[in-house]
Chain A
Amino acid sequence: MRYALLVTLRSVRIILPLALLAGAAAACGGDEFDSGDPGDKTITVYSGRSESLVAPVLEKFEQQSGMTVKVRYGSTAQMAAQIEEEGDKSPADIFFAQDAGALGAVAKRGLFAPLPSDVLAKVPANYQARSGEWVGVTGRSRVFAYNVDMVPRADLPKSVFDLTGPQWKDKVGVAPTNGSFQAFVTALRVQHGDAKAKEFLTGLKANGALIRESNIQIVQEINDGKLATGLVNHYYVFEQAKEKGITADQMKAKLHFFTGGDTGALVNVAGAGVLKKAATDPDAKALIDYLLSTEGQTYFANETFEYPLVAGVPTAPGLPALDSLAAPKIDLNDLDTLDETVKMIKEAGLA
């Protein structure tokens, strides 16, 4: 026992300085410290959006404003959980999330401050929180993606409800653990009631829906001809075309937008909210303003292929205009009953 202690003490004397050195070296990677004071020219952003999509636009903002933006990247669910876990002590000033549901969840916990009216005025009212706690930055439409060699154009479904029919047996890929799919199911419940939504999910499962981990995977498999069709967001086909160095119309995976206000064409947002501690921080407001500026919106339109939400900014070539989409009339604020949706998805055996 004495030896144990002795060896430990000895080794600690050798190891601890080394550990401190390693820690110090690693700390250099994190560099500047955000004092958290308003107007200190430093803000901390928790981003549920990917670094490769968001970092360039934040860097531009830093250059123009002379501010330092510290960004924490993770999945939207992970960042929302982290903010809720941190509560009032969260180092975050801004939460930039990938769907309205996550923003709603954080708003429900009372962690967001209401945004100034001039910020909210920039974006149509249907793409922001009713009580002004978050604002949409870009739009993303749900689509039916299909492999052009495997599905003739004439056979494309009129409504998402057609997908439970025999002609789509074992052909439809879905990602039920993905936030966008869940928002779509919540929209189904809002638009058609719980009974019909449940019937659809059970029908989808019984029809041999193919469960995938992510939208990316679905689009990739469709493009490779391993999967015929799938329910995804519109921009993945463009992202993958970019990775392959081709244009979207050279891809085997094509987009079909449902029409006539079908729930399958739900338009959700990626958006941002300001946490309470930064309610009056001009720096935080400056960043939100930049994301909604012509320059910020143009970046998203051309680089992430999402729909700009501020009037006067054109969408990426190859995409139908946002106002030409026959999106269902659904209030994004009503998409905050995620618990019920999740329960339903689980009960249907999709997750």
Chain B
Amino acid sequence: MASAAAVGLALVPVAYLAVRTGEAGWTRIVDELFTRRVAVLAGRSLALAAVVTSACTAIGVGAAFLVTRTDLPARRFFGVVAALPLAVPTYVAGFAWISTVDRFEGFWPAALVLTLCSYPYVFLPVAAALAGGDPAQEEVSRSLGRGAWRTFASVTLRQVRPSIAAGALLVALYVLSDFGAVSIVRVDTFTRAIFTAFNVGFDRTGALVLSTVLVVLTVLLIGGELTTRARGARYARVGGAGRPPIRLPLRAARWPAAAALTAVAVLALGVPAASLARRLAEGVSRPGSLAEIATAAGNSLAVSLAGALLTMVLALPVGLLTARAPGPLATLLDRLTYVAHALPGVVIGLSLVFFGINVAYPLYQSVWLLALAYATLFLPLAVGAVAGAAAQSPPALEEVARSLGRGPAKVFRTVTLPLTLPGIAAGTALVFLTCMKELPATLLLRPTGMDTLATELWTHTSTASYAAAAPYAALLVGLAAVPTWFLSVRGGA
């Protein structure tokens, strides 16, 4: 019940999309959708998603393996640094790259920027799974004569496959919905076409009709991931304090491996940092005052916190249902949360403007409607974290506690909560930092007169006041880095 209600709320934008597309009339829909351009754009979006997802999987899994399972020098340091690019919004990274490298435009540059910003979606869950997995199976494999590397390929990777698939799905959906990087680096994708239709001639209907294609693409991707997940079993560590995972000696590859991780960090973090510093030094515009920056930062923190907590409230029933009562219904609800995730923020924003005006007027232009937008956009991030945590706390523990005479409330407090709380906290942190970076929906739904770091950044860059924008960008990345750091430390890296 609670799960269905939560998912229903997350599907408000999709319902709006259906209604508005229906109003457009069949001929208009056919006119908009069945064109060569739509086919080209859809193909390019999918190609970009495929390239970025593959690259993110390679980097994410590679980095996770290096920091959790090898004798890499400065492992802990790299564990944190590898997660930090999650704090860099793609529009900041894209902007940094085009102002650093001449003629930085087109498909491959966009793929590079998107990969550098989103590989942590794979790195974090895989690092957590690798650090927390039970070494027993690997030990069995080794004792039966398989070598270290073969064991890793055949046993370990298989153990963490669900984490890889979940992270890869998030990356793929993120790429479909991204506007920041693709618009700055100039590659025509589906989401860019939606924004263009919307900006060109205020064509809302055209933009919304195009969005239905994204929904279809998303459903296909979700279906694809589902087939890999169905075969993935859970590997929970039962009982006792965890044993440290087996670490493989890298030998001669130790320093090259460290150099590779350093290179990724330089590209993902160093380039934006250097560009911001240069902008600040070159320009003469300055942000209004420290008070203005502080207010924007405070607002960013407050709306993101409201968004993250509301998202978590909605995610809990869905996540626990998936973990505790798996079945077709749970799977369906879980998958449905992803549908709105790949919609561009501007579509979510407009649909909630419509929803706020016509259904929930008292909430219109309040923080709550904005929080709801964040929840519909980022629900899958939170559901994944809750489900993952709950799955790692085997129901057997609760059953044992019950059989020993403890009441359900006490079992919850002494068994379930301590086991799932870290997952809940991690999910909240992830949603929180993602909310901070969100821009299009925030512009449409924020209370009138309220500025956040992201909106201030947008304001100043739209008038070429890059030096004034730099402190907002730096603060945005800095604040988003705090929850990212928490996530990476928790990941056991």
| Bound CA–CA A160/B172 (angstroms) | 43
Please indicate the chain A residues that have their CB under 8 angstroms from the CB of B424 in the complex. 11
| Contact, CB under 8 Å: B448 / A85 | no
1/0 contact trace for A191-222 toward B, CB 8 Å?
Answer: 00000000000000000000111101000100
Subset of 25 A-B contacts with CB under 8 Å: A1-B325, A2-B408, A3-B416, A4-B317, A7-B412, A15-B312, A16-B309, A18-B309, A19-B309, A25-B298, A26-B303, A29-B302, A50-B459, A53-B463, A72-B449, A75-B462, A78-B346, A85-B354, A182-B201, A226-B103, A239-B463, A243-B283, A244-B282, A244-B283, A346-B37
| Contact, CB under 8 Å: B412 / A10 | yes
Give residues 11-40 of A contacting B (CB, 8 Å). 11-12, 15-16, 18-19, 22-23, 25-27, 29-31, 34
Please indicate the chain B residues that have their CB under 8 angstroms from the CB of A311 in the complex. none
| Contact, CB under 8 Å: B201 / A23 | no
Contact of A80 among B202, B303, B463, B468 (CB under 8 A): B202
B414 within 8 Å of A (CB atoms): no
B229 within 8 Å of A (CB atoms): no
Closest to A339 in B: B201
Please indicate the chain B residues that have their CB under 8 angstroms from the CB of A236 in the complex. 464
Q: A27-B366, A30-B447, A244-B283 are in contact. Are A226 and B102 (CB under 8 A)?
A: yes
Please indicate the chain A residues that have their CB under 8 angstroms from the CB of B198 in the complex. 77-78, 81
Q: How many contacts between A and B, using CB within 8 angstroms?
A: 206
Interface size class of B (residues with CB under 8 A): 35 or more
Contact of A182 among B200, B285, B353 (CB under 8 A): B200
B420 within 8 Å of A (CB atoms): yes
| Bound CA–CA A236/B448 (angstroms) | 28
Contact of B200 among A26, A84, A177, A216 (CB under 8 A): A177
| Bound CA–CA A5/B448 (angstroms) | 37
| Bound CA–CA A23/B463 (angstroms) | 30
1/0 contact trace for A59-74 toward B, CB 8 Å?
Answer: 0000000000011111
| Contact, CB under 8 Å: A44 / B448 | yes
Contact of B201 among A31, A91, A342 (CB under 8 A): A342
A-B pairs, top 3 by smallest CB distance, nearest first, are A30-B447, A26-B302, A19-B309
A51 within 8 Å of B (CB atoms): yes
| Bound CA–CA A231/B303 (angstroms) | 40
A5, A105, A212 — most chain B CB neighbours (10 Å): A5
| Contact, CB under 8 Å: A27 / B367 | yes
Please indicate the chain B residues that have their CB under 8 angstroms from the CB of A12 in the complex. 313, 316
| Bound CA–CA A232/B465 (angstroms) | 18
| Contact, CB under 8 Å: B317 / A8 | yes
| Bound CA–CA A289/B202 (angstroms) | 28
Give residues 283-328 of B contacting A (CB, 8 Å). 283-285, 295, 298-299, 302-303, 305-306, 309-310, 312-313, 316-317, 320-321, 324-325
A249 within 8 Å of B (CB atoms): no
| Bound CA–CA A38/B128 (angstroms) | 59
**Closest Cβ–Cβ distance, residue A92 to chain B (whole Å):** 9
Closest to B346 in A: A78
**Closest Cβ–Cβ distance, residue A185 to chain B (whole Å):** 11
Contact of A5 among B2, B371, B398, B447 (CB under 8 A): B2
Closest to A181 in B: B200
A268 within 8 Å of B (CB atoms): no
Closest to A26 in B: B302
| Contact, CB under 8 Å: A89 / B200 | no
**Closest Cβ–Cβ distance, residue A110 to chain B (whole Å):** 15
A126 within 8 Å of B (CB atoms): no
| Contact, CB under 8 Å: B468 / A52 | yes
| Bound CA–CA A71/B446 (angstroms) | 11
| Contact, CB under 8 Å: B186 / A89 | no
Please indicate the chain A residues that have their CB under 8 angstroms from the CB of B310 in the complex. 19
**Closest Cβ–Cβ distance, residue B10 to chain A (whole Å):** 15
Closest to B413 in A: A10
Give residues 183-233 of B contacting A (CB, 8 Å). 183-184, 186, 196, 198-204
Please indicate the chain B residues that have their CB under 8 angstroms from the CB of A346 in the complex. 37, 200
Please indicate the chain B residues that have their CB under 8 angstroms from the CB of A23 in the complex. 302, 306, 366-368, 371
| Bound CA–CA A85/B356 (angstroms) | 11
| Contact, CB under 8 Å: B350 / A7 | no
Contact of A78 among B365, B409, B417, B444 (CB under 8 A): B444
1/0 contact trace for B351-385 toward A, CB 8 Å?
Answer: 00110010001001111100100000000000000
Please indicate the chain B residues that have their CB under 8 angstroms from the CB of A16 in the complex. 309, 313
**Closest Cβ–Cβ distance, residue A297 to chain B (whole Å):** 20
A341 within 8 Å of B (CB atoms): yes
| Contact, CB under 8 Å: A351 / B186 | no
**Closest Cβ–Cβ distance, residue A287 to chain B (whole Å):** 15
| Contact, CB under 8 Å: B102 / A70 | no
| Bound CA–CA A12/B184 (angstroms) | 40
1/0 contact trace for B45-86 toward A, CB 8 Å?
Answer: 000000000000000000000000000000000000000000
User: Do most interface residues of chain A lie in helix, strand or loop, or is the interface mixed?
Assistant: helix
A162 within 8 Å of B (CB atoms): no
Please indicate the chain A residues that have their CB under 8 angstroms from the CB of B303 in the complex. 22, 26
Please indicate the chain A residues that have their CB under 8 angstroms from the CB of B285 in the complex. 52, 242-243
B42 within 8 Å of A (CB atoms): no
13 further A-B pairs in the complex, CB-CB below 8 A; given A8-B316, A16-B309, A29-B295:
A1-B324, A4-B324, A6-B412, A12-B316, A23-B366, A23-B371, A25-B298, A52-B463, A80-B202, A85-B350, A216-B462, A243-B284, A342-B201
Contact of B449 among A70, A245, A342 (CB under 8 A): A70
**Closest Cβ–Cβ distance, residue B355 to chain A (whole Å):** 10
| Contact, CB under 8 Å: B298 / A29 | yes
A87 within 8 Å of B (CB atoms): yes
**Closest Cβ–Cβ distance, residue B444 to chain A (whole Å):** 6
| Bound CA–CA A51/B459 (angstroms) | 6
B266 within 8 Å of A (CB atoms): no
B123 within 8 Å of A (CB atoms): no
1/0 contact trace for B261-289 toward A, CB 8 Å?
Answer: 00000000000000000000011110000
B460 within 8 Å of A (CB atoms): yes
Please indicate the chain B residues that have their CB under 8 angstroms from the CB of A4 in the complex. 2-3, 316-317, 320-321, 324-325
Please indicate the chain A residues that have their CB under 8 angstroms from the CB of B338 in the complex. none
Please indicate the chain A residues that have their CB under 8 angstroms from the CB of B354 in the complex. 85
Q: A12-B313, A22-B309 are in contact. Are A239 and B464 (CB under 8 A)?
A: yes
Closest to B6 in A: A8
Q: A1-B321, A23-B371, A243-B467 are in contact. Are A10 and B417 (CB under 8 A)?
A: yes
| Contact, CB under 8 Å: B324 / A102 | no
| Contact, CB under 8 Å: A73 / B455 | yes
Please indicate the chain A residues that have their CB under 8 angstroms from the CB of B398 in the complex. 3
| Bound CA–CA A238/B344 (angstroms) | 34
Please indicate the chain A residues that have their CB under 8 angstroms from the CB of B119 in the complex. none
A240 within 8 Å of B (CB atoms): yes
Contact of B463 among A50, A74, A212 (CB under 8 A): A50
| Contact, CB under 8 Å: A102 / B321 | no
| Bound CA–CA A6/B368 (angstroms) | 25
Please indicate the chain B residues that have their CB under 8 angstroms from the CB of A51 in the complex. 451, 459
| Bound CA–CA A262/B444 (angstroms) | 38
Please indicate the chain B residues that have their CB under 8 angstroms from the CB of A295 in the complex. none
| Contact, CB under 8 Å: A338 / B201 | yes
| Contact, CB under 8 Å: A15 / B183 | no
| Bound CA–CA A64/B180 (angstroms) | 40
| Contact, CB under 8 Å: A50 / B306 | no
Closest to B415 in A: A3
Please indicate the chain B residues that have their CB under 8 angstroms from the CB of A351 in the complex. 196, 200
